[in-house]
Amino acid sequence: MNAVPNSTDWAAVRADFPVLTREVHGKPLIYFDSANTGQKPEAVIAAVDDFYRRHNANVSRAVHALGSEATELYESARSKLARFLNVRGDELVLCSGTTFAINLVAYSWALPRLKAGDAIVLTRMEHHANIVPWQLVAQRTGAVIKVAEIDERGQLDLDQLYSLLTPEVKLLALTHVSNVLGTVNPVREICREARKRGIVTLIDGSQAAPHRPLDIAAIGCDFYAITGHKMSGPTGTGALWARREHLDAMPPFIGGGEMIKEVRFEGTVFADGPRRFEAGTPNIAGFAGLGAAVDYLSALGMANIEAREQALLSRFTDALKQVPGLRIFGEAADKAAVVSFLIEGAHAHDLATLLDLEGVAIRSGHHCAHPLMQHFGVPATCRASLAYYNTFEEIDAFVTALTKVRKLLA
């Protein structure tokens, strides 16, 4: 694939994704579930395959050729990701994904610091991965959780959010992009306000990193979490970026091999920097794949990907608005290509099940965001989420399928 920004051959890009040529129930697959997990291009699949065929060895421990190659692949994923996110590699902890990354901050940064009387601010639109770890911390420390609410378009009420940032607040943890509403939060401005008040910030970047250019240094947060499988990379890969001052002050969360300088029965001296948080054998093949995914996304250009997805979103939203009885949840001014919806008189799961018979993959359910469902007073929604490898023709075919299914359920 030879990507030239603005003149990208998106049909050629799509052809890089083997799974997209599949049929499901005798119909061409329309994969509109990329917010759940992204599909993988041939280059990523080949990198994982190549690792096991040619380089398979453990990292760091071996001096033999394969061991150095495996270590080189693993470490090059770190440096590629660091460049992609505009951060330093020695501030990037490689881990299994956002869930692990947030738990690492919860156990290693928050648990030793927070105490009764402290507060953590979250938002209404958080994924459970950015709620439950904080509830566990709150239970164990006596800290309380406060919630920033959203307006009718699914945007954060910034005045209310800032009014919550009182001196007891030690941490503000929020998502960059909502996995349900698509809302893009103004994280730079929010982090600036938090910083003025001495509040540490954690951004859940799961749904941002795959879809727009990222400059973590410019955001000005303290922690930023990403997950590789939504970035066209393998499952079980991800990273936590943390300011070096935090990393240096954080005790290890999980102990074992690879994270030490010296172990004696009297005590252990831990490794410096990210390695202190990378105990045990990592997902080396996965990170070889994630390195290839970062190369792939970088070659396409994140601004180019964002523009493509915004064009798809615009067509998709216009088309959905023509479907009688369809309600869209989340119409933020700055929005990623995620559309949650319901159709009057139809259950979300019935819609998704019938759409599956038409070859269409969407998600139905609570999207790991119960508090958001409670806010809207619904148990579930349908969610269609697009990526750069989707097409305008798929959008038209989706709307035709939805119209057919709606009639069956009406």
CB of 84 vs ligand PMP, minimal distance in Å: 17
Catalytic residue among 95, 191, 221, 368: 368
Is position 127 an interface residue for ligand PMP (rule: CB under 6 A)? Answer: yes
Establish if 175 lies at the interface with ligand PMP (CB under 6 A): yes
Q: With CB under 6 A, what is the number of residues at the site for ligand PMP?
A: 14
Does position 161 bind ligand PMP by CB under 6 A?
Answer: no
- Kindly state whether residue 207 participates in binding ligand PMP, applying the rule CB under 6 A: yes
Q: Give the residue, chosen from 34, 123, 185, 206, that forms a contact with ligand PMP under the rule CB under 6 A.
A: 206
User: Which of the stretches 126-134, 151-159, 189-197, 357-365 binds ligand PMP when contact is defined by CB under 6 A?
Assistant: 126-134
Nearest-approach distance from CB 103 to ligand PMP, in angstroms: 9
- Please identify, using beta-carbon distances, which residue of 57 and 136 lies nearer to ligand PMP: 136
Is 363 a residue that touches ligand PMP (CB under 6 A)?
Answer: no
113-to-91, 105, 106, 136 alpha-carbon distances in Å? 20, 11, 10, 14
The footprint of ligand PMP on residues 81-110 (CB under 6 A) is 97-99
Identify which of residues 384 and 401 has a Cβ nearer to ligand PMP in the complex.
384
Q: Is 368 a catalytic residue?
A: yes
Instruction: Please report whether residue 185 would count as binding ligand PMP according to CB under 6 A.
Output: no
Regarding 125 and contact with ligand PMP (CB under 6 A), the answer is no
Q: Which two tokens stand for residue 152?
A: 């009718």
User: According to the binding rule CB under 6 A, does residue 33 interact with ligand PMP?
Assistant: no
232 binds ligand PMP (CB under 6 A): no
Which residues contribute to the site for ligand PMP (CB under 6 A)? 97-99, 127, 129-130, 175, 179, 204, 206-207, 227, 229, 368
Report, as residue numbers or ranges, the catalytic residues.
Answer: 368
